[in-house]
Every structure is written in C-alpha cells, then in structure tokens.
Structure 1
Amino acid sequence: MEQLQTGTLAGFKDYLCAVGYSSGSVQMLWSCTRAFFDYREQVPANVMPADILSFYEDLQVRPSLRGEGGLSGKMVDHYLYSLRVFFDWQQAVGLVMAHPMSGLQLRRLGSGQRLPLSVAEVTALFGAARHEREHAALHLLYSCGLRRSEAVLLEPGDVWPERGVLYVRRGKGARRRVVPLASRASASLGAYLRWLAVWVPGGSPRLLVGSRSQGMTGDRLCGLVKALGKRAELKTVVTPHRLRHSIATHLLARGMSLEQVRDFLGHRHADTTQIYAHPQNVGL
C-alpha cells in the first residue's frame, strides 16, 4: 500500500510540474493529497464519494498544526481542490473509472470568494443587450475571457472575425496570446466592426468606444456591464472580472483541461487558474 501510494503521488507531482504549477503549489497539492491517503489508507481506484465526504467532515474538526484552533475554511478548500485535481489526472490517464468527487456539491468554506455567474444568468445578460457595442463588450469579457485592461486596449485590427481569432497584444506582464472566437462571438464582433466603421468614419484607434467616439475607459466598461446586469434583473453585481471568472469556471465544468484554460486566460501559472475551479453547480 505504502509503495503504491508513494509511486502514485510521485507521478502526481510530476504531472503538476508538467502542466505548469509553481513549485509552492506543487508541494501544497501533493501534501494535501497525501494527507487524504494517510487518512483513508486506500488505493485511488477504491475511493468512493463517501470517503471524500468523510474526509471533508474530518477536516472541519481537525486541529491546525500552525496555531490554535482548527483549519481555516480556505485551507479546507485547498484540500478539496487538491483531491479534485488528483482524481481528474487519475481519470484522464485511465487509472480510475469513476471520479469519486463527481456529483458531490461540497460547500466552499473560504471567505471573500467571487463566485461565477450561472449559465442562466449569463444567458439573461446577453438577452438584455440591445446594441452592437453591448453585445461586443459581453463577448470580449465572457466569450473571450479578457481582462478589463485588455478589452479597452484592443484595436479594431486586433479582431479577425473571418479567421475566428482575436489578438491580445498587451496582456498582463507584457504577454501576448491568440484567443479563439466562437461562432457567435465572431458574428457579434463582425457586426460591431461594421457599426464602428460607420460611427467613426475616419477610423478609431480603439475597438471599444463611448458615445463620443473616444476610446472606452475601464470604468466606463465596468459601468456598462453593471447596467446590463440591472437590466437583466440579476440579483448580483456584474463586473468584467466576474465575467472572466464565469467563462473560466464554465469551461472547466465542461471538461476543458486546466492547462488549456490557463492558456486561454493568459495566466503564467496553473495555480492562478485554480482559483476559477468551482465545484458547485453552474447550470451546465
């Protein structure tokens, strides 16, 4: 048993390094996963949802090793995330047939979370858009997962609807990336570019413009999506980052790998992307 766990956990550590986790996160994920197998003393293929639930309950009463009291809610979330990544890997390489965390809806205990919108809420948001500019802004922030700063710095020539791609030339950390456009995003951005050519006949240096044909500021973009949220009668405040958070969570829930979502978002490390891995039901 011990040799099997040691070999499997060593393979898990190699996998984490290969997909781009930072060294600190590799150690944290590995140690959290090992703690589970020390607790249950089972081989991965025999782990059942009830075992995960039992461990989750134990974590909430387990004393902290770094001070008085129990584990923080954020630390409990780290344990759960580690197991999810571990069994995602085990299932992907065919070592387990059924994911023991599939279908489990365990409440996240960490504070200060910015939860994603559900698919139904995103659909309502797009339904509330009335203008080409509003549709384009939503597609840039949700369908393309752009940061607010990336969206307002885009130039018309950075969007190629006919090729189905968008170029982010000035991403965070001066990193560039190519973002694929889904068919609806391509159609919407193509319609917006045609509108923009009429609205600013001499050509606009920025893709997103305000009512005075000048480049839209980040604050103005925030106000636009917040207003759309109110128009859609959503009970939560909508922000550009929340839309980026939402598409990342939805892609992960649909089965896209963490490293693919990492590249899509323009993150340097996969542990940044893990923030968006919410196990709760997002309406898919």
Structure 2
Amino acid sequence: MWLPYKKGFKAYLQLERSLANNSIEAYLNDIEKLTTFLEDQQLAKTPDQVTLADLQKFIKWIAELGMTQSSQARIISGIRTFYKFCLLEDISKKDPSTLLEAPKLVRHLPDTLSFEEIELLISQVDLSTPEGGRNKAILETLYSCGLRVSEVVNLKISQLFLDVGFIRVIGKGNKERLVPIGSDAIKYIGIYREHIRNTIKPKSGEEDILFLNRRGSRLTRVMIFLIIKDLAAKAELKKTISPHTFRHSFATHLVEGGADLRAVQEMLGHESITTTEIYTHLDREYLRKTLENYHPAFTNK
C-alpha cells in the first residue's frame, strides 16, 4: 500500500534534497519500520490517515524492541522529513509528526587535544620515510582545515588553491565549501607533492587524488585512523584519539579563541548551527576549568 509513497519519497530525497545514498537509505529504512509497525498492529492506513497517537505508539514499539534513544530520535527525524514530503505533494493535508516528541539526548562531549598535544602527536611522524612525509601533510591538513576523514582522503589536487590560502572541499551531500588552509599545511603539502607524490604512478581514476599510497591508490579512512592511533601511542597520549579528534580540536580551539560560531559552522560544513553549538559547551567546560585553576575563590579552597 505504501510502495508508491516510498518511491516518491526516494525521488524527493534524491532530487530535491540532493542527499547521499547512505542518507537516503537511512530515511527509507525509517519509513520501512513505520510500515512494519502498522502491519504488526493491523492498521491498514495510508500516510494521510496516520495520527499522532499512532506515531506515539510506534515510538513506544521501537523502544520496546531495544532501540537506543539516539536511534529513536533519528527515526523521528526521518518521519518528520517524510511528512514534509507528503505535505508538499498533497498526499496529506496535516502533519501528525509535528507534536511528536523525541527522547531527550545526553550529549557526550568528544575528547579534544590541546595545541601542544597536537604538536606532540605530529612530531612523532618519521620524516625519513616517504609515508612519513605524506602523513605529516595529512595531519597538518586535518588540523588546519578541520576536515572530516572522508574529505581528506578524497581531496583532489584540482581543489587546492594554495597560492591564495584556500582549499575547496566536497562535504556531506556533495555540498561544496571553501576552507582557509594554514601555512604549515601548505608547506608540507608542497614538500609532499614535489618530493614524494611525483615518484608515485597513480592508478587509473586516481590521477587527481592528492594523498596516495605506494600503489597509487587513495588512502582508506581506516588507514588514516591507524596512522593516528600509532602516533598517539608513540606520543603516550591516553585520550581516545581518531581522525575526528583533529576536527573537534580545530573547532574547539577556534571557539576558545573567540571565533564567531557562524564562521566555524561554515568552515566545518555543518548544515545546522545546532551541530556547531556543541563547541560552545566545550568552551564552557574550558572556562570552568580556567576558573578552578586560577580564580582565588576556587584555588584557595
């Protein structure tokens, strides 16, 4: 009964929202769960017949199946997006998901590194090897630009505008953004391209990819993770460190330095300012620790 609606929703996500395939699949899975619930409850309803009460029972149903609060919140977001599509296409005259409440989520602040810890980690790179020269350039780029790991492994030479200090990044949903790049990253990318990458023959289709392995292919996300994990062990850093830690640290250091949140949002490529606002929480924690360490009312206790 819902197959035509699902097909229409998929086309909407592809054409109107320009979402990546993984995101589209996630949204369709959310609607699949809803239709499975309706069948389980023997509710033969079309989208316009579904009520808020039905959706509330559905959320209770998935919670009883063992879905985490974050999974429940994501499914509710998927249902809301589906009903936006239904309103646009006149499939439904009202949106039953408007008053549907998502579970309150506890936001866990990610581990971040201080500038000194970043420097310590990067200093563990062995620059006597070709891989070391490449890894130095990768880490300087990750920290300088706050890139996602997928963005750094797919970075192309044609996206570098180093003479003016910018790179063009293709982020989530194929959205483009221009990000400033620091002088250290520019320096080590230059050294890597001139002395290391020039000696590697790229595989077919990889000619424009900046960071290559010895076989001429782009690096995997897992490879970047392993490189960082190895360096963190050598630096004896006890924190949970991943490529994303560099991105978190980039944003945290900007906010702590007084950067405008909208500018940080733009550089990170966040669609919503709400996602960027986590760094204001990090900043508050930093301020609290500063008070505890230096304010007489705290230090004299």
Residue 113 of structure 2 is aligned to residue 117 of structure 1: yes
**Structure 1 residue 112: Cα displacement:** 3.4
CA distance in 2, matches of 1:281, 1:259: 20
CA distance in 2, matches of 1:218, 1:200: 20
**Structure 1 residue 272: Cα displacement:** 0.6
Q: Choose between structure 1 and 2 for higher RCO, CA contacts under 8 A separated by at least 6 residues.
A: 1
Residue in 2 that maps onto 1:173: 173
- Matched residue of 2:137: which SS? helix
Seq. identity, %: 33
Residue in 1 that maps onto 2:138: 137
- Alpha-carbon spacing, 1:215–1:264, altered in 2? closer, same or farther (3 Å): same
The 5 Å alignment of 1:120-199 reads 120-130=116-126, 131-168=132-169, 170-199=170-199
TM-score (norm 1): 0.57
Give the CA RMSD over aligned residues.
2.4
Residue in 2 that maps onto 1:64: none
CA distance in 1, matches of 2:180, 2:152: 15
- Matched residue of 1:281: which SS? helix
Deviations 1:61-112 (A, max 9, x none): xxxxxxxxxxxxxxxxxxxxxxxxxxxxxxxxxxxxxxxxxxxxxxxxx563
TM-score (norm 2): 0.54
Residue 158 of structure 2 contacts residue 208 of structure 2 at CA under 8 Å; is this kept in 1? no
- Matched residue of 1:117: which SS? coil
CA distance in 1, matches of 2:268, 2:258: 16
Residue 124 of structure 2 contacts residue 231 of structure 2 at CA under 8 Å; is this kept in 1? yes
CA distance in 2, matches of 1:134, 1:213: 15
Deviations 1:24-47 (A, max 9, x none): xxxxxxxxxxxxxxxxxxxxxxxx
Residue in 2 that maps onto 1:242: 245
CA distance in 2, matches of 1:159, 1:122: 23
**Structure 1 residue 204: Cα displacement:** 3.2
**1:225 aligned residue (217, 222, 228):** 228
Gaps of 5+ in 1: 1-109
CA distance in 2, matches of 1:158, 1:281: 35
- Matched residue of 1:128: which SS? coil
Residue in 2 that maps onto 1:273: 276
**Structure 1 residue 273: Cα displacement:** 0.4
CA distance in 2, matches of 1:192, 1:227: 21
